[in-house]
Chains A and B, each alone.
Chain A
Amino acid sequence: AQSVTQPDIHITVSEGASLELRCNYSYGATPYLFWYVQSPGQGLQLLLKYFSGDTLVQGIKGFEAEFKRSQSSFNLRKPSVHWSDAAEYFCAVDQDTGRRALTFGSGTRLQVQP
């Protein structure tokens, strides 16, 4: 069965510092991969997605992610974090290649220090 692992439960970075959130997946075929963000009391908002093609994908709010098939990873990055980026971040894989019945990781909570 496919799975998604986010090894970091909680990360704290200083405002202006760079950020990398890790995501590893287990999936037999070429996966559809997603990163979502959830702010307190809010639903999930899509940051970016990877289906095929260029392995470096750009998303909203200055985020990017790189798909590395050899490492089964899809890490999320941002060069300079803003205080408003404090939230919980979820990596997800589409378990039925396109049906959007997503399997989510356990999430990484990001704290931003002033």
Chain B
Amino acid sequence: DSGVTQTPKHLITATGQRVTLRCSPRSGDLSVYWYQQSLDQGLQFLIQYYNGEERAKGNILERFSAQQFPDLHSELNLSSLELGDSALYFCASSSRLAGGSGELFFGEGSRLTVL
């Protein structure tokens, strides 16, 4: 158990819909990351938040957005869903913003299926 909690574990929805994925980082971790794992794109970094502020952005679509709340949990919002958004979405947390020997701790993921 990494200590990172993601909900829901599974989600099935239709094209055009909007969903929210939730992540609770490890206790005390200030940094939250979102990754997408799909069959055709592999594992891709989407976005990073540190203590409520966006710090790094990867291949995140404009239809997707994220935020980190004062209690440090994070939400990834996916809107106008397309079939290609079906993927496993991972959240990871770290105690540090950058540098040092800190590692990422990954949750078990939220599997999104868009029909």
How many positions in chain A have a CB within 8 Å of any CB in the partner chain? 25
When the two chains form their complex, are residues B43 and A104 in contact, meaning their CB atoms are under 8 A apart? yes
Interface size class of B (residues with CB under 8 A): 20 to 34
Q: Least Cβ distance of B67 to chain A in Å?
A: 17
User: Would you call B70 an interface residue if the criterion is a C-beta within 8 Å of the partner chain's C-beta atoms?
Assistant: no
Q: How far is the CA of A34 from the CA of B101 in the complex (A)?
A: 11
Interface residues, chain A, with chain B CB atoms under 8 Å away:
34, 36, 41-46, 49, 51, 90, 92, 95-107
Across the interface, do B108 and A41 meet the contact criterion of CB distance under 8 Å? yes
* Chain B residues proximal to chain A, CB less than 8 Å: 2, 4, 31, 33, 35, 42-45, 48, 55-56, 58, 90, 92, 94, 97-109
- With A101-B33, A101-B48 known as contacts, the answer to whether A107 contacts B94 (CB < 8 A) is no
Say whether B100 contacts A98, CB under 8 Å.
yes
Q: Are the CB atoms of A43 and B42 closer together than 8 Å?
A: no
Contact between B43 and A100 (Cβ–Cβ < 8 Å)? no
